[in-house]
Amino acid sequence: MNIPLVDLGAQHAEIADEVRAGLDEVFARTAFVGGPAVGRFETAYAAYVGAAHCVGVANGTDALELALRAAGVRPGGEVILPANTFIATAEAVSRIGALPVLVDVDPTYLLIDPAAVRAALTSRTEAIVPVHLFGQVAPVEEIGKIAADAGVPMIEDAAQSQGARRFGQPAGSFGLAAGTSFYPGKNLGAAGDAGGVTTSDAAVARTVRVLSAHGSEHKYDHEAIGFNSRLDTVQAVYLEAKLRRLEGWNAARRTAAERYGAALATVAGVVAPTSAEGNEDVWHLYVVQVDERDRVLASLHDAGVGAGIHYPTPLHLTAAYADLGLGRGAFPVAEAAADRILSLPMYPHLTADQQGAVVEALATAVGG
Ligand SMILES: Cc1ncc(COP(=O)(O)O)c(C=O)c1O
């Protein structure tokens, strides 16, 4: 048996012909930076998210950094974000010279805890970044209200939530801006690194676009010291083709999540994930919780199941963020979860038979 954590092959097969035709056009025009495909994708993705603008950039980390910069985060400022996220959320803050202020998550969904956010506010807080982890949507009403009361922007990390909705509204449209990643394994994944900022604020969109292109709106007219962080044209072609299928692929993930949920209900010792009320999750990852996680993980690997851990180390316990001076015990919920979480294979083309085999291997592992 070999069931990978993520299988991109079937997705590629669906779009291969369309992509080939799109790439032929790019190569014929030799428009390798910019060109019509980039603008077309940005327009389509903004519409999909329900934002007025999408600015394509080189990757999700840049998207978050540029969104935070455009939102006014400065060196020395504080930005509140969850301890349980991919390190890029914090890197985007640190690269500005601002301070990531980590907070704990809730024990059920492992999303940023609004009460912890409120407690972490200071006069130096310049932004709050809820992360829509695993394909969920963070509690944006509460976080948005805390941000509004404090007079600071909410910037969403929407890297894992393309297509997710909360009470019908898409992730990426709640804050002043959102950064997203089109890393290949994401729900909307490119054929390499890519990212985007969505916003309905014209000034934020303009600042992100200017910063992403050497600080210039018009060539050689440099208003600011910027970056070279544009959405690659080849990636735009790939993403356009995938975006057309994203709703169907997310629906297939939801079906797979329901199948896992039904099967795991009878497996003692496995806590299956659930969706918060109002959330239409897109199941970027399917994360269960088990005792003796490392032993269970090894057993799954031995059985040919490509399970993973997202993420094994809360940010404050990584070497990269040792300087924050926060030891074990700082964020008990994130720390306890990190020892118990296990991501099962999840992708649109995962079959019921494959899921049956995963559940069987998991049941054997937790029972053994
Ligand atoms: C939650 C989260 N934030 C940010 C990123 C950064 O995106 P990228 O890898 O495209 O820089 C990722 C993905 O890698 C992510 O999962």
Q: Is the CB of 285 within 6 Å of ligand 1?
A: no
Q: How far apart are CA 46 and CA 294, in angstroms?
A: 41
Q: Is the CB of 287 within 6 Å of ligand 1?
A: no
Q: What are phi and psi of 118, to 5 degrees?
A: -60, -40
Residue 149 has pLDDT above 80, yes or no: yes
For the range 36-43, what are the long-range contacts, defined as Cβ-Cβ under 8 Å and sequence gap of 24 or more?
37/233, 37/236, 37/237, 37/240, 38/230, 38/231, 38/233, 38/236, 40/236, 40/240, 41/231, 41/236, 41/239, 41/240, 41/243, 42/196, 42/231, 42/236
Q: Is the CB of 60 within 6 Å of ligand 1?
A: yes
pLDDT at 74: 98
| Beta strand 155-157 pairing with 125-128 | unpaired
Amino acid at 275: S
Q: What's this model's pTM, rounded to 2 decimal places? A: 0.98
Which atom of ligand 1 approaches the CA of 64 most closely? 4
CA of 60 to the centre of ligand 1 (A): 5
Residue 171 has pLDDT above 70, yes or no: yes
CA of 212 to the centre of ligand 1 (A): 17
Which atom of ligand 1 approaches the CA of 186 most closely? 13
- Looking at per-residue pLDDT, the higher value among 219 and 68 belongs to 68
Q: How far apart are CA 229 and CA 247, in angstroms?
A: 28
Q: Is the dihedral of CA 209, 214, 219, 223 positive or negative?
A: positive
Q: Is the CB of 88 within 6 Å of ligand 1?
A: yes
Q: Is the CB of 84 within 6 Å of ligand 1?
A: no
pLDDT tens, residue by residue, 42-56 = 999 999 999 999 999
- Looking at per-residue pLDDT, the higher value among 368 and 334 belongs to 334
CA of 86 to the centre of ligand 1 (A): 6
Average pLDDT in the 277-288 region?
98
CA of 131 to the centre of ligand 1 (A): 10
Pocket test for ligand 1, best of 59, 61, 155, 229 (most atoms within 8 A of CB): 61
CA of 360 to the centre of ligand 1 (A): 31
Q: Is the CB of 86 within 6 Å of ligand 1?
A: yes
Residue 368 has pLDDT above 80, yes or no: no
Alpha-carbon Rg of the chain, whole angstroms?
20
Q: How far apart are CA 89 and CA 129, in angstroms?
A: 8
Average pLDDT in the 232-257 region?
98
Average pLDDT in the 113-119 region?
98
pLDDT at 1: 84
CA of 183 to the centre of ligand 1 (A): 7
3-state secondary structure the chain: CCECCCCCHHHHHHHHHHHHHHHHHHHHHCCCECCHHHHHHHHHHHHHHCCCEEEEECCHHHHHHHHHHHCCCCCCCEEEEECCCCCHHHHHHHCCCCEEEEECECCCCCCECHHHHHHHCCCCEEEECCECHHHCCCCHHHHHHHHHHHCCCEEEECCCCCCCEECCEECCCCCCEEEEECCCCCCCCCCCCCEEEEECCHHHHHHHHHHHECCECCCCCECCCCCECCCEHHHHHHHHHHHHHHHHHHHHHHHHHHHHHHHHCCCCCCECCCCCCCEECCCCCEEEECCCHHHHHHHHHHCCECCECCCCCCHHHCHHHHHHCCCCCCCHHHHHHHCCEEEECCCCCCCHHHHHHHHHHHHHHHHC
Confidence label for 31 from pLDDT (cuts 50, 70 and 90): confident
CA of 366 to the centre of ligand 1 (A): 31
pLDDT tens, residue by residue, 2-15 = 999 999 999 999 99
Residue with CA at minimum distance from ligand 1 atom 12? 159
CA of 14 to the centre of ligand 1 (A): 25
Which atom of ligand 1 approaches the CA of 62 most closely? 11
